[in-house]
Amino acid sequence: MTTIEQNLTQYAAYHRDRRNIATHFVGVPMIVFSVVLALAVVEIPVGPVALTLAAIASIAASIYYLRLELTLGITMALTLFAMCAGASEVTHRLGTGASLGIALGVFTVGWAIQFLGHKWEGMKPAFVDDAKQLLIGPVFVCAEAYFLFGGLAHLRRYIEDRVGPTVARRDGRPIPIREEATS
């Protein structure tokens, strides 16, 4: 399994422009919530209870994130739990059709925001080269939030030693990842 450091470094190579990262703080949670909301309309009976596909997918994603890194995994699990709770409330109050309509609208706006950020960055999204980066995007935003408040400094140093710091504006040239950088 690829380490959290390797995953985030690969993702960060496409995300060094602060404006693009800012769009990710808005767009990525919108996209994740829209997927959770869409999956929340599908219930699977398990004995006396019904699990939603959103709960199942969130548990699976949380296990993946926990295996990558404990602090980020716990934060992602709590975030996904909150999104499942919100999606459950929306589907209960509005029904399947309206919930799916809202999910589609939020998904579309979230991706529009993402593509605007990548236009500013001058780089294609990371998932174009590696679809697994779709799973890394949410944990990247989580890590960037920790970095913003001074947390996980060792992880930030690892990434910046390989792809450089974030910049106000980027010229769009690909950043070579330095594997042999010192920590």
Closest CA to 89 of 36, 44, 45, 130: 36
| pTM score of the predicted model | 0.90
C-alpha 49, offset from chain centre:
29
> What digits encode the pLDDT tens for the residues 98-143?
999 999 999 999 999 999 999 998 888 889 888 999 999 999 999 9
Low-confidence residues of the chain, pLDDT below 70?
A: 174, 179-183
- Tokens 């190579």 belong to 13
Measured distance CA(95)–CA(118) in Å, rounded: 34
Q: Which two tokens stand for residue 136?
A: 């890394």
Domain spans in the chain, listed from the N-terminal domain onward: 4-163
